């Protein structure tokens, strides 16, 4: 089978396996939101994509984080295959992990803790691997790739510990040395966006996490518990030098009442790249959007 066809088959099995797993867990699927009056601040991606329609600007969704927080007011468990546009700096074109349009499986659970969504994330990933092994194991083997088995729970390391042990480039180093997926937890408040919840018992440390793939494939998912109280959200927005007006729609929701929740987003192309063992996420898409590069179609 051609590499491109294999990538399509694996992607299709991955999407089906995620849906099957989450529906069995009691989740409902939300249709994606592409244009919004407010979107994820993502301070490491400074450029914004907007369009003007009906006399006002609309952001192209960077992540559905605020929509997820709003949606769990209606249903306790929601997920979405969410197309995200993030205008990544051109230097990231060669990271192997960045497209400026990608899809993430974004999910959120009302009143869940970080531990609960980490447990869900592990079971989801192992379910996906087992479905892909069954459906595409042979085709992948022909390309020299064996779908791996991993024991649970995956190991955890705190952000501070990882930095102490592996230096500045700890994420790369940790992913390169890991033999199984590994959790990076407890990011310092300055490292993440305002919506990740600060640990009430450990000021300055967040109740959040990333999952890293082994073999150097890098970040798989990001998530955590969320700030949901209006006064805390305001303090966090101001603490990051952002304006309250810009996040008015979120603050209005929070004043009306948000639930505590936790969730994560897992990049679909990164997952397929890892499963296929490809060098770049662009190889997983028929119509990839690589930062700074033109597209044929």
Cα dihedral 149, 136, 289, 83, rounded to 10, equals -80
The residue range among 8-16, 18-26, 260-268, 284-292 that interacts with ligand ASP, by the rule CB under 6 A, is 260-268
Which sign, positive or negative, has the C-alpha torsion 152, 156, 103, 196?
positive
Residue 181 binds ligand ASP, judged by CB under 6 A: no
Beta carbons within 10 angstroms of residue 220's beta carbon: 23
Q: E strands within 152-282?
A: 156-158, 182-185, 208-213, 218-225, 261-267
Q: Which of 41, 181, 214, 263 binds ligand ASP (CB under 6 A)?
A: 263
Give the closest residue to 272 by CA, choosing from 217, 215, 222: 217
Out of Mg ion, ligand ASP, none, what residue 263 binds, judged by CB under 5 to 8 A for its kind, is ligand ASP
Subset of residues 22 to 81 that bind ligand ASP, contact rule: CB under 6 A: 63, 65
Residue 100 binds ligand ASP, judged by CB under 6 A: no
Pairing verdict, β 77-85 and 28-29: parallel
Q: Which is nearer to ligand ASP, 83 or 148 (CB)?
A: 83
Beta carbons within 10 angstroms of residue 272's beta carbon: 26
The residue range among 28-36, 48-56, 232-240, 263-271 that interacts with ligand ASP, by the rule CB under 6 A, is 263-271
DSSP letter at 27? Answer: -
Least Cβ distance, residue 182 to ligand ASP (angstroms): 18
Least Cβ distance, residue 264 to ligand ASP (angstroms): 5
Residue 175 binds ligand ASP, judged by CB under 6 A: no
Give me the residue whose beta carbon is nearest to Mg ion.
Answer: 222
What distance in Å separates the CA atoms of residue 94 and residue 58, rounded to the nearest whole number?
Answer: 29
Residue 218 binds ligand ASP, judged by CB under 6 A: no
Query: Contact 284/278 with Cβ under 8 angstroms?
Result: yes
Q: Which of 11, 39, 222, 261 binds ligand ASP (CB under 6 A)?
A: 222
Subset of residues 218 to 247 that bind Mg ion, contact rule: CB under 5 A: 222
């Amino acid at each position: 089978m051609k590499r491109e066809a294999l990538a399509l088959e694996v992607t299709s099995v991955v999407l089906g396996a995620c849906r099957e797993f989450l529906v069995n867990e009691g989740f409902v699927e939300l249709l994606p939101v592409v244009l919004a009056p407010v979107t994820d601040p993502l301070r490491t991606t400074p450029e914004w994509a907007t369009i003007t329609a009906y006399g006002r600007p609309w952001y192209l969704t960077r992540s559905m984080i605020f929509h997820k927080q709003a949606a769990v007011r209606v249903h306790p468990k929601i997920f979405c295959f969410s197309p995200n546009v993030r205008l990544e700096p051109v230097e990231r074109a060669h990271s192997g992990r960045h497209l400026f349009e990608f899809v993430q499986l974004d999910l959120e659970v009302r009143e869940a803790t970080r531990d609960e969504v980490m447990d869900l994330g592990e079971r989801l990933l192992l379910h996906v691997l087992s479905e892909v092994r069954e459906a595409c194991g042979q085709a992948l083997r022909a390309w020299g790739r064996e779908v791996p088995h991993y024991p649970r729970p995956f190991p955890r390391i705190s952000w501070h510990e990882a930095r102490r042990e592996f230096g500045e480039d700890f994420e790369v180093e940790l992913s390169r040395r890991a033999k199984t997926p590994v959790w990076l937890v407890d990011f310092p408040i300055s490292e993440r966006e305002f919506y990740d919840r600060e640990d009430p018992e450990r000021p300055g440390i967040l109740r959040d996490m990333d999952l890293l793939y082994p073999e150097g494939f890098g970040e798989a998912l990001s998530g955590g518990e969320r700030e949901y109280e209006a006064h805390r959200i305001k303090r966090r927005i101001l603490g990051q030098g952002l304006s309250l007006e810009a996040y008015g729609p979120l603050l209005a929701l929070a004043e009306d009442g948000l639930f505590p929740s936790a969730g994560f987003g897992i990049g679909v192309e990164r997952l397929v790249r890892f499963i296929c063992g490809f060098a770049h996420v662009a190889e997983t898409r028929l119509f990839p959007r690589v930062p700074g590069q033109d597209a044929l179609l």
